[in-house]
Amino acid sequence: MAHPPSKSNPSRAELQIESEIPQSHTSVRRPPSAGRARGWSSPARDRTHHRLRKKRARPLCPVSPPSVLLPPGLQVVAASIHRCCRKTATMSRLQVRSFSSPVSSRANDLLTELHGHLGFGTLRPELAHQLFDEMLRQPVLVSARALSGLFAALARAPPSPACTDGSALAIDLFNCMARAGRRQATVPTIYTYSILIECCHRTCRPDLGLAFFGRLLKTGIPTDIITYSNLFKCLCDMKRTEEALNVLLHRMPDDLPNVISYSVILKSFCDNGRSQLALDLLQMMAKKGANHSPDVMSYNMVIDGFFKEGESSKACDLFHELMQQGVVPDVVMCTSIINALCKARAMDKAEVVLRSMVHNGVQPDVVTYNSLIQGYSTLGQLKELARLLKVMRSQGVMPCVATYNSLMTCLCKNGRFKEAVEIFYSMAVKGQKPDVASYSIILHGYAKEGSLVDMIDLCQLMAANGVIPDLHCFNILIATYAEYGMTDVAMLFFEEMLKQGVHPNEVTYLSVIAGLCKTGRMDDATEKLGEMIDRGVPPDKTVYMCMMEGYFKHGDSLKAKEFITKMKNKDIPHRSQKGN
């Protein structure tokens, strides 16, 4: 059984780390006077305040839904609101403002009903078209602001079973309005077109965004920077970044471009591995000055782009250039640079950036320290990791689960697995609940030691704490039990994996097939190979070699030769060629 280690005999690493973590937390109490509005001190005002409180204490929703008193089109919305009020006992979350108006047009009522269904996630495209078409037939127009608000709400709406793409629905509704001709609900404004172009970007239809922009130009409505920025997003989506840059530099009024419009193009260059062009544009922005001057986020995009392309020297040069210009980078930018340097194993340069940000008054946060700790953990440098933990605590930064995971990984790499287990069981005491990565680290340690019973106990603890295993966890369990000849247990974990909706990869299938071949269950191994192919997981040479060796080992040389022929006739990649 895997029991928590005794606290009476902590290890040296435990003692070293324990001192860095505070043992208690001070709760923040609200002062008795908090919440009292200023100026409410006289008796008269106290009585008024008391009356207001009594008035607010009345029920916010009647006993039965007042759908009879509402127009017929609003009965569905009223019933939904009534159910919501019964559940939450508040109506403050529902912003259906049209109910507050005693007199409203039928068009506004239909618009309100559209908002209501959208808010409750019941707006199906068919229903939306039905209500919108009826709204177009009304003699009284809705305001342009209200119509733009509907399109904006659709663009921001999260996917739901009723409507999976609100942006696409907004575009369809506008096209219905455009086809209505003189019966259209209202005249679109610059805000309407800007929202629609943004919808085209969100729904991955940049070609429609360009069409909307062309329609906007025909109306003669003056364009603004937001509309141009949304146009640039569509052009960049179509890999036409140079065209977007040409519009920005030569076709926009000089007073319109700002750092936001430039940032769209900078990001597109960097995302497509063209950070040098982004740097050229950045330098052009700096020369123009005024509204064109790049900000910290602009520099951060280009620096991050250089790191992604492996140009760490250019990234560091740009960072130092930024510092020389007197621009103090924020914690996000510094953390991004430190993280990239740590991934490149340039820990000395990462430490220089850490010292410079502290010198400039930028306080590192837990993400900053975790990047460095993860870097030292990858290199197995436990002493440097412990030093950073001390610095981290001295700056008042509390270690989190990711910090402990890096520490446990480093301890395991240094052959100090027992101390990693101590850290694992002490996490809950420190107020940090282990996550699935924490369990995977300890599971892997038990697997290397062959502690199969402890692995089962840890799985039970994992389930008791409500932590759901991921693919990495299942792969560790399946590979370990299959390696030790306990194929039935490995298959149980494989079946549980499928029940929980975790999709096996080629590592999973290789472990299962290898275990079945090892125990002579070649028919089952062949069945799993077929299942692997049916699920769209392509087997590599390692899988075929495993099958071939299994048949040779158990005396079926004909089947073994069949797999040799398959390997020769098919261009089957090796695992290393697929980046695994």
* Burial classification of residue 245, based on how many CB atoms lie within 10 Å of its CB (0-12 exposed, 13-18 middle, 19 or more buried): buried
Calculate mean pLDDT across residues 128-148.
Answer: 87
pLDDT given at position 98? 38
pLDDT of 542 strictly over 50: yes
User: pLDDT tens digits, residue range 38-95?
Assistant: 333 444 444 444 444 444 444 433 334 444 344 444 444 444 444 444 443 333 333 3
pLDDT given at position 445? 95
Q: Which of 58-67, 384-393, 478-487 has the lowest mean pLDDT?
A: 58-67
How far apart are alpha carbons 270 and 275 in whole angstroms? 5
pLDDT of 23 strictly over 70: no
pLDDT of 422 strictly over 80: yes
The one-character DSSP state at 540 is -
The string of DSSP codes covering 502-519 is PPP-HHHHHHHHHHHHHT
How wide is the angle at C-alpha 14 spanned by C-alphas 9 and 17, nearest 5°? Answer: 150
How far apart are alpha carbons 198 and 212 in whole angstroms? 10
* Burial classification of residue 541, based on how many CB atoms lie within 10 Å of its CB (0-12 exposed, 13-18 middle, 19 or more buried): middle
User: pLDDT tens digits, residue range 292-303?
Assistant: 888 888 888 999
pLDDT of 37 strictly over 70: no
Token pair in block for residue 437: 């990565």
Calculate mean pLDDT across residues 399-428.
Answer: 93
Q: Which of 3-7, 264-268, 481-485 has the lowest mean pLDDT?
A: 3-7
| Domain residue limits, the chain | 65-187, 258-325, 469-580
Q: Which helix (H) or strand (E) holds 270?
A: helix 259-271
* Type of residue at 508: T
Looking at the chain, how many residues does it have? 580
pLDDT given at position 323? 82
pLDDT given at position 184? 52
Calculate mean pLDDT across residues 19-47.
Answer: 40
Calculate mean pLDDT across residues 126-145.
Answer: 87
Q: By three-state DSSP, how is residue 188 classified?
A: coil
How far apart are alpha carbons 526 and 197 in whole angstroms? 53
Q: Which of 58-72, 108-122, 178-192, 566-580 has the lowest mean pLDDT?
A: 58-72
The string of DSSP codes covering 415-466 is T-HHHHHHHHHHTTTTT----HHHHHHHHHHHHHHT-HHHHHHHHHHHHHTT
* Type of residue at 223: T
Which of residues 481 and 577 earns the better pLDDT score? 481
> Which candidate, 310, 268, 254, places its Cα nearest to that of 281?
268
How far apart are alpha carbons 476 and 489 in whole angstroms? 13
How far apart are alpha carbons 510 and 520 in whole angstroms? 15
Calculate mean pLDDT across residues 176-200.
Answer: 82
Q: Which of 28-32, 227-231, 405-409 has the lowest mean pLDDT?
A: 28-32
CB 452 within 8 A of CB 420: no
pLDDT of 180 strictly over 60: yes
CB 71 within 8 A of CB 106: yes
Average pLDDT in the chain: 80
Calculate mean pLDDT across residues 335-353.
Answer: 91
User: pLDDT tens digits, residue range 86-99?
Assistant: 443 333 333 344 33
pLDDT given at position 29? 38
The string of DSSP codes covering 63-130 is SS--GGGS-GGGHHHHHHHHHHHHHHS--TT---GGGG-SS--HHHHHHHHHHHHHHTT---HHHHHH
The string of DSSP codes covering 322-388 is HHHTT----HHHHHHHHHHHHHTT-HHHHHHHHHHHHHTT----HHHHHHHHHHHHHHT-HHHHHHH
CB 192 within 8 A of CB 177: no
Residue 253 — pLDDT band, cuts 50, 70, 90? confident
User: pLDDT tens digits, residue range 506-527?
Assistant: 999 999 999 999 998 999 999 9
User: pLDDT tens digits, residue range 453-471?
Assistant: 999 999 999 999 999 999 9
How far apart are alpha carbons 143 and 558 in whole angstroms? 79
Of the chain, the percentage scoring pLDDT greater than 90 comes to: 51
What percentage of the chain's residues is helix, strand, coil (to nearest 5)?
70, 0, 30
Helix axes 312-324, 331-343, angle to 10 degrees: 150
pLDDT of 350 strictly over 80: yes
Fold held by 469-580:
1.25.40
> Which candidate, 242, 320, 322, 233, places its Cα nearest to that of 281?
242
Q: Which of 185-189, 395-399, 491-495 has the lowest mean pLDDT?
A: 185-189
CB 190 within 8 A of CB 225: no
How far apart are alpha carbons 502 and 499 in whole angstroms? 8
pLDDT of 193 strictly over 80: yes
pLDDT given at position 183? 52
**C-alpha pair distances (Å), 278 with each of 139, 306, 340:** 52, 10, 19
pLDDT of 537 strictly over 80: yes
pLDDT given at position 558? 83
pLDDT given at position 431? 85
pLDDT given at position 201? 93
pLDDT given at position 107? 84
pLDDT given at position 176? 86
Q: Which helix (H) or strand (E) holds 149?
A: helix 144-156
Q: Which residue has 């008035």 as its token pair?
A: 55
Residue 321 — pLDDT band, cuts 50, 70, 90? confident
* Burial classification of residue 105, based on how many CB atoms lie within 10 Å of its CB (0-12 exposed, 13-18 middle, 19 or more buried): middle
